[in-house]
Amino acid sequence: MTGFGKKLSINVTCLSRLVSFLPPVTPVLNSRCRYVSKAAVNTQADYDYDRPLMKTQVPGPRSKELTKQMGQIQNNTAINFFCNYEESRGNFLVDVDGNRMLDVYTQIASIPIGYNHPALLKVVSDPNNASAFVNRPALGILPPESFVDKLTEGLLTVAPKGLNRVQNMACGSCSNENAYKAMFIWYRNKERGTSIPSDADLSSCMINQLSILSFSGAFHGRTMGCLATTHSKPIHKLDVPSFDWPIAPFPRLQYPLDEHVRENAQEEARCLEETEDLIVKWRHKGMPVAGVVIEPIQAEGGDNHASAAFFISLRKIASKHGCAFHVDEVQTGGGATGRFWAHEHWGAEDPADIVSFSKKLLTGGFFYRDEMETDKPYRIFNTWMGDPSKNLLLAEVLNVIRQENLLAEVTRTGKALLGGLYELQAKYPNLLSRARGQGTFCAIDVCKASVRDKLILQARDNGVILGGCGDLSIRFRPALIFKEHHVHMFLNVFSDLLAAHK
């Protein structure tokens, strides 16, 4: 990427509280069975802490009390612990009991450049930006004067290949929900040859019959339309009615990928054949597939990968049958795989018709082709349609990514992380298997769900925050500023936990 913004000068006086380190602490675990690796040089910016510091188990007493109070107001059953975001810094999250933890999960993959990054604090403290934070407009009808410039300077500089337009939204679910609507509208306009609906269209629209094809193991959100395409965990869909839309099999590959090329190619061919059969079947049912939606790496469903050839072939099948092709990059977008968009790894000339995003991009939305533009108001619409303040922050995030060459850093760090996971699964084959990843977007399977969950809790009590996904997987979702020495911090803690496992 070129044409980067000017480098920021940090006001050290204003940020002194954020750049003052706490005293060194003793290691959380003993060193009886350390992970043996060459320590990386610590080149992290000075706003990062140097190591975890644990004072209590997690959740600690203050977290437990706040969780109890929350239970009197709303459902609290998903709360892990309460956080002190003012004291959190860089790759480290601090909780309300003073525990400082290396965060390798980052708010479910949504913190791009760490906690309290000085560049973002400067954006917030700039008086010229105050209006964007104080006044939240209904962007679809009353956007601010600077809105076009901010989109051009921010989101459009990272537009995926072939996608010239972008629609802001607030979160991943509403991004996908409205992307589905855009595909339906595009499909019907294509059928009728015009964007002007007939009387018959208007009279029959309440029982409109179209579908979106999704894949087993997918996660695309929790709103009603998105839930119809989400198939990762039963709890997401329990008691909620769903549309009768086709669900194709996602390849279940064997790892390492380069050792199972023939078997994996056969599995992908099977899934592609079944996908095409489903598109034909649903057309015959009178519910034609308007769009195909897929994640470049199935995240919530278990970090399931497929080859570039699979995705390129799937794209061709969608085009052959007149279906839009929607790539959901809500979790994979923003650089975690070493490319800004995970689908860039495919090397495809025409990768998608729609690409949705959120999480690391701080705002939600979707990029789309010119022909998928609607020509009538309120068809793709809600009150806020994003947040101008998030666009300001995103523009600065993009500056930091470019200035610090963070995508190359992610590639280097990812190799260290995946290499460490390979070593640990070789050392503990009864516990670990199927290490996999692109960049720092990595995962590994644990022998049993109960053991996986126990390891995640033990890691947290020893200063490392991890996340689970799928039935057996631990997923790694660090910020883009995660370095090799942070990898070794994690590996040392995790190695000790594995060695102590009974």
Which among 341, 343, 327 is positioned nearest to 295, based on CA atoms? 327
Q: How far from chain centre, in Å, is Cα 483?
A: 19
Cross-strand pairs, 464: 102
Q: How far is CA 2 from CA 106, 151, 249, 405, in A?
A: 28, 17, 40, 11
> What's the rounded Cα separation, in Å, for the pair 259 and 87?
45
- HSE-CB at 363 with a 13 A cutoff on CA atoms is 25
Helix H segments across 60-216?
Answer: 61-71, 106-109, 118-125, 130-134, 147-153, 172-192, 199-204
User: Between helices 406-427 and 388-403, what is the axis angle to 10°?
Assistant: 80
Secondary structure of residue 95 in the 3-state scheme? strand
User: Between helices 118-125 and 388-403, what is the axis angle to 10°?
Assistant: 140
Q: Indicate the residue type of 348.
A: A
Pairing of strands 289-294, 354-357: unpaired
Q: How far is CA 393 from CA 25, 128, 129, 370, 390, in A?
A: 34, 13, 10, 27, 5
> What's the rounded Cα separation, in Å, for the pair 167 and 186?
15
* Burial degree of 447 (CB within 10 A; 0-12, 13-18, 19+): middle
> What's the rounded Cα separation, in Å, for the pair 160 and 162?
6
Q: Indicate the residue type of 208.
A: N
Residue 473, φ and ψ in degrees, nearest 5: -90, 150
Q: Catalytic residue positions?
A: 219, 328, 359, 383
Q: Indicate the residue type of 147.
A: F
> What's the rounded Cα separation, in Å, for the pair 52 and 142?
46
Which among 177, 193, 114, 186 is positioned nearest to 385, based on CA atoms? 177
Q: Are 404 and 413 in contact (CB under 8 A)?
A: no
* Burial degree of 235 (CB within 10 A; 0-12, 13-18, 19+): exposed
Q: Indicate the residue type of 404.
A: E
